[in-house]
Structure 1
């Protein structure tokens, strides 16, 4: 019995000793100035290194400084040919809205930039002559009826050798003239947009409508309300922009380098921050005007937003079709003689640790704000063209990784600011 009691007592003492040892070990690990093992030292060192190369920005901060997210693109920036040019729309895709008759502009329904459909009313024109044509058309029917009766009478007289043959010929000529005039009036009234069969004395119209001959965008308006226009005066110009293409002016010595199917990156002169793409489909065979340049025609690929006929552009033709990873210039920062870009790592929300019994008041909970963590990666840079620079990362960037394409300077400043505060503490 005593032996059993001793065994139980020994077990209790061993268990209490183990608990005391664990408590002592934990208290030493939580100390701030003692060396208690390699593992305890390694983790803080790794965390500190990551903090020095990353920054977290809230959605509000990103919006305030204009940070934009994108991806590494593939661009041709090595073997290239730079040239100027302009955007053009073929004449077959341009049209003027004109009136078939002269008159005074009574109403004008469009402005520059408006999109119109084929047949849509552009303007209305008023002229007293329109009423006169309709009146003549209505009255000519009775005149034709009378001329037919006169011709029948002259035929009867001529058959009875009573009437003169000359009178029969005159009656025939008069009827034919009236019928020709009616056909002419019929066509003119139809060109005015009026159905001749619906005309009556109570439905005479003093104005006519001018419609758009094609669907497209109003590029210019030449008339105004109250002005007089005739058949040679266009009221508005309409351009169908889907056929918009690029005419690149290439010097004679460079023409042998141009091939159908080559890619072109170009920017509009008044907006160099946005790059568009085109593909060569035709090479001109004559010089442009008195210059020594030849037009290289290219179809625009993808987005055409903001492109208008007549805009001047600067283009870069890809000569060897070798693509390199490239990013916008605003995605690169230079720090301590090295170049960096910022990778988007994750969306994170730092939870607030509540102590037992503490109320969940979020008015002072700064750690609950949604943010994006960015990690800095070193790169080497290559050729630059049209706002893009070729890059080579020092380590592989996982496929599908997003990066900062605009505003990397602000992310870098945030990272440095965070690092300084961390060392200060």
Structure 2
């Protein structure tokens, strides 16, 4: 025997620690399913901010946690190369004017049999080349946020505004003023938490208990007193790596304050209600991974109460009560300790240790 299964307590001891007697009751409890999960934001609601052209950061008017709107300027970078692109556009623009005149002149000479066909073809090719060069430079200027038609020799710009591609919260800043960035380096990351969802990891045997539309109550490890809600909108159809779990996708509803992409949570799904023998949570003690209640086995000659330790299998827990299935028959009329099981178990463990 690993330890004692019977112990005695005087009425004074029972009163001192608040042990109370009662009976196993029939209670209507809600069955629940517990599962771990992680909060996630869909990739379409996350954005890595990069510069389309390399340069040195000269302003960075954002901080982590700031909310930014799509199109809002979040950084300015400079590079003399920006001026060269504007020069390319202006040069192509002016050369096109000359090339168009030359093409018209060659066309007239050819029409009047006074010019060679190869001169006309050469003028046409030059005009096409310059038109392509101007279009490429114009497209680069548009990507830089510069209107090509507004570019003149008097207003060449060496700075480029980097704007937010989506609305959301700045979750990370990777650059600082003075740092050099290129197209492969991230300036910042933006996350739109309004579309936050919860991915629960549910074991295969529990999947039949779940369905779309069920409500999940979940808590964060670092804020155990606050409960949040989510609603199941999709149940996965494949196993996650080696865990033999399936992802159950839920939309977070209601309060989202304090919730961040990547947080680990514990979720509880309410299933059905059923009537079962139940005892207050304080009537159950845990030892070595098993659960026990303590049945009153009458009084001794000196008035002490004798308690017998009986193993039980726990069922649903709800409203302070837990459903139990004792591994041996217990009469509904038998008295049990409905409060203070932890103390009785500790006393019994002491007795067991002294017996060895």
Counterpart of 1:203 in structure 2 is 155
- Is residue 229 of structure 2 the alignment partner of residue 277 of structure 1? yes
Alignment map for 1:128-167 (pairs within 5 Å):
128-167=80-119
> For the structure 1 residues 383 and 180, does the alpha-carbon distance in structure 2 shift closer, same or farther, using more than 3 Å as the test?
same
CA separation in 1, counterparts of 2:321 and 2:48?
Answer: 46
Q: Is the 8 A contact 1:220 1:237 kept in 2?
A: yes
Counterpart of 2:208 in structure 1 is 256
How many positions carry a matched residue from both structures? 257
Which piece of structure 1 moves more, 151-160 or 305-314? Answer: 151-160
CA separation in 2, counterparts of 1:253 and 1:228?
Answer: 53
Counterpart of 1:309 in structure 2 is 261
> For the structure 1 residues 268 and 183, does the alpha-carbon distance in structure 2 shift closer, same or farther, using more than 3 Å as the test?
same
Structure 2 unaligned spans of 5+: 1-27, 275-280, 282-314, 323-356
Per the TM alignment, residue 77 of structure 1 is displaced from its structure 2 partner at its CA by 6.8
CA separation in 1, counterparts of 2:230 and 2:186?
Answer: 33
More strand, by proportion? 2
Per the TM alignment, residue 156 of structure 1 is displaced from its structure 2 partner at its CA by 2.8
Alignment map for 1:191-270 (pairs within 5 Å):
191-270=143-222
CA separation in 2, counterparts of 1:234 and 1:170?
Answer: 46
Alignment map for 1:7-406 (pairs within 5 Å):
78-320=30-272, 389=320
Per the TM alignment, residue 128 of structure 1 is displaced from its structure 2 partner at its CA by 0.6
CA separation in 2, counterparts of 1:384 and 1:211?
Answer: 52
Deviations 1:59-91 (A, max 9, x none): xxxxxxxxxxxxxxxxx9731111100001111
CA separation in 1, counterparts of 2:38 and 2:29?
Answer: 22
- Work out which structure has the larger RCO, using CA pairs closer than 8 Å and 6 or more positions apart in sequence: 2
TM-score by length of 2: 0.68
Per the TM alignment, residue 147 of structure 1 is displaced from its structure 2 partner at its CA by 0.7
> For the structure 1 residues 297 and 321, does the alpha-carbon distance in structure 2 shift closer, same or farther, using more than 3 Å as the test?
farther
Q: Is the 8 A contact 2:30 2:273 kept in 1?
A: no
Which piece of structure 1 moves more, 275-284 or 148-157? Answer: 148-157
Structure 1 unaligned spans of 5+: 1-75, 323-328, 330-381, 392-425
Q: Is the 8 A contact 1:77 1:318 kept in 2?
A: no
SS in 2 for 1:320: strand
TM-score by length of 1: 0.57
> For the structure 1 residues 318 and 171, does the alpha-carbon distance in structure 2 shift closer, same or farther, using more than 3 Å as the test?
same
SS in 2 for 1:205: coil
Per the TM alignment, residue 155 of structure 1 is displaced from its structure 2 partner at its CA by 2.0
RMSD, aligned α-carbons = 2.3
